[in-house]
Amino acid sequence: MTTLAGFLRCLGSVLLLLVVGESRADAGVSEEQLKAAFVFNFAKYVEWPSGVTGPVVACTLGSDAMASALLSFEGRPVSGRSFQLRRVSVPDDVAACNVVVLSDMEPNRMEEVLRRVPVQGVLTVSDIDGFTEAGGMIAMMRVGDRLQFEINNAALQRANLKASSQLLKLARNLSGRGR
């Protein structure tokens, strides 16, 4: 688990991105770049099952913009592992992923992908409405001029993942329900 000081540094970076996001047209920071920073930090502040080695593979389905934004984090460290990105186009390909990011797709396709995600050790993240209610783990949403997130803690626990206490405190809403 990372230190509180490290978490606060990353949180400061995310908060800075949020402030910059208000004037992103001037600064050239897109909403997808902000969401990508959130996804990367979610991966950093989730406790992965013991014995998991190799890179943290984040797979994207849906938005090409999200995949492009996540490229800027490729190779960065996540809990002593390297963050890697893979673009997948079919739900069956998520079996080799540690993080599955769903964006810009129909709710029925989102539910199909969630059914294909392995039960253990895979973090699911999306910006699609109704994501946590459908069994997803972390949903990002725009509330006014801010980007926020909610956590389905029961879904995390079923996957043998644990969000850090700092991440849980920052969540807009915690849900214990979900499939």
Q: Could you read off the pLDDT of 118-157 as tens digits, one per residue?
A: 888 999 999 999 999 999 999 999 998 889 999 999 999 9
8 A C-beta contact, residue 124 and residue 102: yes
Looking at residue 87, its pLDDT comes to 94
Determine how many CB atoms are found less than 10 A away from the CB of residue 148: 16
Question: Tokens at residue 177, please?
Answer: 């329900």
Identify the CATH number of the domain in which residue 98 sits: 3.40.50.2300
**Average pLDDT of the chain, as a whole number:** 84
Mean pLDDT, rounded, for 150-170: 94
Q: Which residue has the higher pLDDT, 24 or 110?
A: 110
Residue 179 neighbours by CB under 8 Å, 6+ apart: 114, 134, 135, 155
pTM value? 0.82
Domain range holding 169?
Answer: 4-175
Give CA 41 to chain center in angstroms. 8
8 A C-beta contact, residue 151 and residue 132: yes
Mean pLDDT, rounded, for 69-96: 92
Domains in the chain: how many in total? Answer: 1
Q: How far apart are CA 178 and CA 3, in angstroms?
A: 30
Q: Which of 7-11, 80-84, 133-137, 141-145 is least confident? A: 7-11
Looking at residue 130, its pLDDT comes to 92
